[in-house]
Amino acid sequence: MRNILLFGAGKSASSLIKYLLDKSESENLHLTIADLNIDLAKNKTNNHKNATPIAIDIFNESDRKKAIEKADIVISMLPAHLHIEIAKDCIAFKKHMVTASYISPAMQELDELAKKNNLVFMNEIGLDPGIDHMSAMKVLDEIRAKGGNVILFESFCGGLVAPESDSNLWNYKFTWNPRNVVLAGQGGVAKFIQEGTYKYIPYNKLFRRTEFLEVEGFGRFEAYANRDSLKYRSVYGLDDALTVYRGTMRRVGYSRAWDVLVQLGMTDDSYTMENSENMSYRDFTNSFLPYHPTDTVEIKLRYIQKIEQDDIIWDKLVELDIFNANKKVGLKNATPAQILEKILTEKWTLQPDDKDMIVMYHKFGYELNGEKKQIDATMVCLGDDQTYTSMAKTVGLPVAIATLKILNKEITTYGVQMPITKEIYLPILKELESYGVNFKEIEVPYLGYNPLNIKN
């Protein structure tokens, strides 16, 4: 039997585990699922004969090393900062490794050692990063193969609620870590290049600078800029492109309403609030507004944020229950961001019958024989249920497929890497199609950088 060790049995691991167990008979696999929560690991095995759940504390060096030593390949679905100790053990015991996370500087430092030991350390092989890299490189390589010169690349992705489960005014529910949603865009200025000019958007302006997108069959979306769109220019071979922009997708109207919460200070995670445990939701909202002897919290907020009473933004804020005087925060020494996360979790958690949706959209502008052309590529993936969500499918399946291909020596490029070469992305994208992850590519008139998506 060939032994696969998986660290982390969280939500994103469900489709990954199912894929490997479904292949375990034909591919002679045994899967060990390691998690701090043994019950979680047990539930994910479904009593499969080729799966073993184990309880493991990643900080217990002895247990971690014993588990890695027994494996042929190691998958880490843990938070990104926990990968590095696993990676060092994989070097020591000469084991291949797969993660869905961005390549950290510490991980990159292991590149030479991985190559020296003939090891594949595949990173950024989830959804975003992952499917975005593979689907983008496929079209970019095809354009270059026919002699085209890429002058524009825009890429967008969003984890959203499926249309049939869209039941609130924000057209949004949590399909991923709520904390990451609350803190989105913080920690650095958004950087991109537009028609040859470098552009920068600070956090306090981020949600008022959006681009609009139309996806056939699913309507209109908006996107705000990701933190750094420039870091993949060299990776994608786009150093000479005039426009490179990456963004996060939401339904139209989300960003303008979210900006109110940002401007109030509710997304700040840098300090704790006094007596937060006994604070009501209304107290929390009022704490960001000036004192007035007679004006209500509602009037003050509308005045400060210049929101008319008939503006849909007002209805969205009311829907969040942030003016409720009877609900208590109940969190000790909480930051504003932590309190907001608690409030939103009550309203935006997917219900048992809800389904999620992943939307990805790429725009490629290029010149060929003196003519400017454009290709738009879109992908929409819907979740099956609360276990096999679209997020779990699009994050976990590429990890699982890559793991098996490394085991089968179909991926043999050694070192710390991401899936941007043809021998990696072509077979993985092909297999993903059978799981409902399909890109639709169409030729459209070249529009250049066009944030309003207006057809000329």
- Residue-by-residue pLDDT tens, the chain, 456 positions: 899 999 999 888 999 999 999 999 999 999 999 999 999 898 888 889 999 999 999 999 999 999 999 999 999 999 888 999 999 999 999 999 999 999 999 999 999 999 999 999 999 999 989 999 999 999 999 999 999 999 999 999 999 999 999 999 999 999 878 998 999 989 789 999 999 999 999 999 999 999 999 999 999 999 999 989 998 899 999 999 999 999 999 999 999 999 999 999 999 999 999 999 999 999 999 999 999 999 999 999 999 999 998 999 999 999 999 999 999 999 999 999 999 999 999 999 999 899 999 999 999 999 999 999 999 999 999 998 888 899 999 999 999 999 999 999 999 999 999 999 999 999 999 999 999 999 999 999 887 766 556 554
Is residue 248 within 8 Å of 319, Cβ to Cβ?
no
Tell me, what's the pLDDT at 450? 64
What distance, in Å, lies between the first and last C-alpha atoms of the chain?
60
Please check whether residue 376 is in contact with residue 361, taking contact to mean a CB–CB distance below 8 angstroms: yes
Query: Which residue segments constitute the domains of the chain, with CATH numbers given?
Result: 2-122 (3.40.50.720), 131-254+352-385+438-444 (3.30.360.10), 272-334 (no CATH)
Tens of pLDDT, residues 282-304: 999 999 999 999 999 999 999 99
Task: Report the pLDDT value the prediction gives residue 456, as an integer from 0 to 100.
Answer: 41
Using alpha carbons only, how large is the chain's radius of gyration in Å? 23
Percent of the chain, pLDDT > 70?
98
How far is it, in rounded angstroms, from Cα 308 to Cα 311?
Answer: 5
Distance CA 399, CA 10 (A): 14
CA gap 238, 292 in Å, rounded: 54
Cα-Cα-Cα-Cα torsion 206, 211, 215, 218, nearest 10 degrees, comes to 50
Q: Please check whether residue 42 is in contact with residue 31, taking contact to mean a CB–CB distance below 8 angstroms.
A: no
